[in-house]
């Protein structure tokens, strides 16, 4: 079951991907590029806030349900 936050995240992420593709193609005017860049920054912030909230929930659930310590997720850039 999807919550409204998940739908919003997915929509924002897809829109952000579309903006990046348009900017990379270089078909936009300078004005359009600036508008797309501004919108992309706003979408990035919204997605990051959603991801940060999800991470906090995972850490809280881990501590509450098993007494586990919160550990940072390993990314592709970090060994581990």
The string of pLDDT tens digits covering residues 10-68 is 999 999 999 999 999 999 999 999 999 999 999 999 999 999 998 888 877 776 656 65
In a domain, 31, yes or no: yes
Residue 80: pLDDT over 90? no
In a domain, 72, yes or no: no
- Among 7, 5, 9, 35, residue whose Cα is nearest residue 23: 35
Cα separation of 54 and 44, whole Å? 15
- The CATH number of residue 49's host domain is 1.10.287
Residue 9: pLDDT over 50? yes
Q: Give me the pLDDT at residue 24, please.
A: 96
CB atoms within 10 A of CB 34: 11
The count of domains in the chain is 1
In a domain, 11, yes or no: yes
Global model pTM greater than 0.85 = no
- Among 6, 41, 2, residue whose Cα is nearest residue 20: 41
Domain of residue 41: give its range. Answer: 4-66
């Amino acid at each position: 079951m999807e919550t409204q936050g998940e739908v919003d995240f997915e929509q924002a992420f897809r829109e952000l991907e579309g903006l990046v593709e348009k900017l990379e193609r270089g078909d936009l005017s300078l004005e359009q590029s600036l508008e797309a860049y501004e919108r992309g920054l706003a979408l990035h912030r919204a997605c990051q806030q959603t991801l940060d909230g999800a991470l906090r929930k995972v850490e809280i659930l881990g501590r509450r349900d098993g007494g586990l310590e919160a550990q940072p997720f390993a990314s592709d850039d970090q060994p581990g």
